[in-house]
Amino acid sequence: MEPLQCGTSPIVGFRFTLNPMSGDFIKIIKGALKEIDTSTVWMNTDDVSTVIRGKQNHVFNVAKALTLHAAKTGEHVALNGTFSIGCPGDTSGDVYLDKDDVLLNTDSTKQYVSSQFALYPMNNPDYMAVIYREVERAKEHGVWNDSMHYASGIHGDIHDVFAFYEDSFIHARSEEHRHLVMTVSMSINSPSHGGAENA
Amino acid sequence: MEPLQCGTSPIVGFRFTLNPMSGDFIKIIKGALKEIDTSTVWMNTDDVSTVIRGKQNHVFNVAKALTLHAAKTGEHVALNGTFSIGCPGDTSGDVYLDKDDVLLNTDSTKQYVSSQFALYPMNNPDYMAVIYREVERAKEHGVWNDSMHYASGIHGDIHDVFAFYEDSFIHARSEEHRHLVMTVSMSINSPSHGGAENA
């Protein structure tokens, strides 16, 4: 049993699956991994999911770039993942915190995405207030879609949506409450979307 | 702003995406929905995900049956979802709590699955101890695979894996700490699996 300590590491992690609904799924995923720059993060893929770890700005940059690249194939793509920081059980391994802050993936192609997110501020008695505040932030960002059981709907251009997610991930934690988890489910090029007019 | 009250509802919810990596994804999902019995749960699908709500036993029964049915197509299928109970922001709507306890989906076909899960006991200062205890429970169930950043690996026959998940979901909450979230990511028929010999 490891000791239960309070997390103080600035390492952000994102464990995710990127699922193209296509028989070409291997080609699409490998193509995305090959053509974007992942040198700013530690990355590992197992038989279920992929995890990236590093500085917050690079983790979000790589997550967005992978998703955008897969989306540009035109296939229906689903991204499901969990952003995490400050877990008391986290290890100090696999850090990439010595990188500078220059973002290496700068493709600004527009892409409509529809998504849902949920925030889990751990060991924080006021966590519901944090969640309601972040829902208000989504409205200020212009990416709010709707409310639903267990999640909140966020949509718009992929760059606006990821900018909101990163902003919310910063604001939903504090020095006192460092362990924050955020789940994101994103759907792109879905036949269920009406297209950009939904934005 | 709604009032922040402690959740007392026994309603269990599961918000998920079931993604076949196939151009036939619509047919596979609709086939699964048509051929299993979902009458014991409230269900709603939007443009990103599907949610089911009801008594715990029925929510897990329907989740497993949907996954198993999609798996039997032989396609690579990914399930990603979040089980939730006791959220203070939950509504009393869409309940199916008047159903009896007879499980309506009883297909016992064996199917190897590899998965990862994470538990988030909310507003519980001892949440890390809860998590470590449930990892031990996975070992007792014989479905433990490995540990990794932000999740724990669980694998084996789909029936054993879902039985563990339901058991863990029961034990990781208490009268005092009612709000519990459990994320599950499952991969089936993946070219990354060696097959049943991994079990």
Minimal Cβ distance to B21: which of A22, A91, A187: A22
Minimal Cβ distance to A123: which of B49, B125, B131: B125
Residues of A numbered 61-100 whose beta carbons fall under 8 angstroms of chain B's beta carbons: which are they?
Answer: 76, 78, 80, 82, 84, 87-91, 94
Q: Tell me the chain B residues in contact with residue A149 when contact means C-beta distances shorter than 8 Å.
A: 13, 15, 51, 53, 90-91, 94
Tell me if residue B130 falls in helix, strand or coil.
helix
Query: Under an 8 A CB cutoff, do B115 and A20 touch?
Result: no
pLDDT band at B8 (very low <50, low <70, confident <90, very high): low
pLDDT of residue A188: 97
- Compute the nearest-CA separation of B131 from chain A (Å): 10
- How far apart, in Å, are the Cα atoms of B161 and each of A161, B70, B96, B153? 34, 16, 25, 11
Q: How many CB pairs under 8 A join A and B?
A: 154
Minimal Cβ distance to A88: which of B94, B128, B153: B128
Q: Does A118 touch chain B (CB under 8 A)?
A: yes
Number of domains into which chain B is organized: 1
Q: Tell me the chain B residues in contact with residue A113 when contact means C-beta distances shorter than 8 Å.
A: none
Query: Under an 8 A CB cutoff, do B151 and A78 touch?
Result: no
Rounded to 5 degrees, φ, ψ at B165 are -60, -40
DSSP notation for B51-81: EEEE-HHHHHHHHHHHHHHHHTT-S-EEEEE
- Compute the nearest-CA separation of B158 from chain A (Å): 15
Q: Does B4 touch chain A (CB under 8 A)?
A: yes
Q: Is B40 annotated as a binding residue?
A: no
Counting beta carbons within 10 angstroms of the beta carbon of residue B89, is it exposed (0 to 12), middle (13 to 18) or buried (19 or more)?
Answer: middle
B149 is a domain residue: yes
DSSP notation for A50-67: EEEEE-HHHHHHHHHHHH
Counting beta carbons within 10 angstroms of the beta carbon of residue A82, is it exposed (0 to 12), middle (13 to 18) or buried (19 or more)?
Answer: buried
B91 is a domain residue: no
Average pLDDT rounded to a whole number, residues A13-36:
92
B3 is a domain residue: no
Q: Is B79 annotated as a binding residue?
A: no
Residues of A numbered 166-185 whose beta carbons fall under 8 angstroms of chain B's beta carbons: which are they?
Answer: 181, 183, 185
B182 is a domain residue: yes
Q: Does A50 touch chain B (CB under 8 A)?
A: no
Average pLDDT rounded to a whole number, residues B158-179:
97
Q: Tell me the chain B residues in contact with residue A52 when contact means C-beta distances shorter than 8 Å.
A: none
Q: Provide the domain limits for residue A148.
A: 12-85+110-190
Instruction: Report the alpha-carbon distance of residue A192 to residue B125 in Å, rounded.
Output: 41
Amino acid at residue number B29: I
Tokens of residue B164, six digits: 């563990």
Q: Tell me the chain A residues in contact with residue B42 when contact means C-beta distances shorter than 8 Å.
A: none
Instruction: Report the alpha-carbon distance of residue B70 to residue A21 in Å, rounded.
Output: 13
Instruction: Show the beta-strand stretches assigned E in B111-199.
Output: 112-121, 144-148, 151-157, 180-188
pLDDT band at B10 (very low <50, low <70, confident <90, very high): confident
pLDDT band at A7 (very low <50, low <70, confident <90, very high): low
Query: Under an 8 A CB cutoff, do B21 and A17 touch?
Result: no
Q: What is the DSSP letter of A75?
A: S
pLDDT of residue A191: 86
pLDDT band at B6 (very low <50, low <70, confident <90, very high): very low
B154 is a domain residue: yes
Q: What is the 3-state secondary structure (H, E, C) of A106-152?
A: CCCCCCEEEEEEEEEECCCCCHHHHHHHHHHHHHHHCCEEEEECCEE
Q: Tell me the chain A residues in contact with residue B133 when contact means C-beta distances shorter than 8 Å.
A: none
pLDDT of residue B195: 47
A124 is a domain residue: yes
Q: Which residue carries 């239960």 as its tokens?
A: A4
Tokens of residue B16, six digits: 């998920």
Q: Tell me the chain A residues in contact with residue B125 when contact means C-beta distances shorter than 8 Å.
A: 123
pLDDT(A62) > 50: yes
Mind listing the pLDDT tens digit for each residue in B112-144?
999 999 999 999 999 999 999 999 999 999 999
- Please compute Rg for chain A using Cα positions: 17
pLDDT of residue A63: 98
Average pLDDT rounded to a whole number, residues B174-180:
94
CATH number at residue A62: 3.30.70.930
Return mean pLDDT, chain A.
Answer: 91
A181 is a domain residue: yes
Burial A7-35 (b: 16+ CB within 10 A, else e): bebebbbbbbbbbbbbeebeebbeebbee
Rounded to 5 degrees, φ, ψ at A134 are -70, -30
Mind listing the pLDDT tens digit for each residue in A102-132?
999 999 999 999 999 999 999 999 999 999 9
pLDDT(A101) > 80: yes
DSSP H or E run through B45 = strand B42-45
Q: Does A133 touch chain B (CB under 8 A)?
A: no
For residue B18, how many C-alpha atoms fall within 13 Å in the half-sphere facing its CB?
A: 26
- Compute the nearest-CA separation of A154 from chain B (Å): 10
Instruction: Report the alpha-carbon distance of residue A135 to residue A141 in Å, rounded.
Output: 10
Instruction: Report the alpha-carbon distance of residue B3 to residue B195 in Å, rounded.
Output: 50
Query: Under an 8 A CB cutoff, do A15 and B150 touch?
Result: yes
Average pLDDT rounded to a whole number, residues A153-157:
98
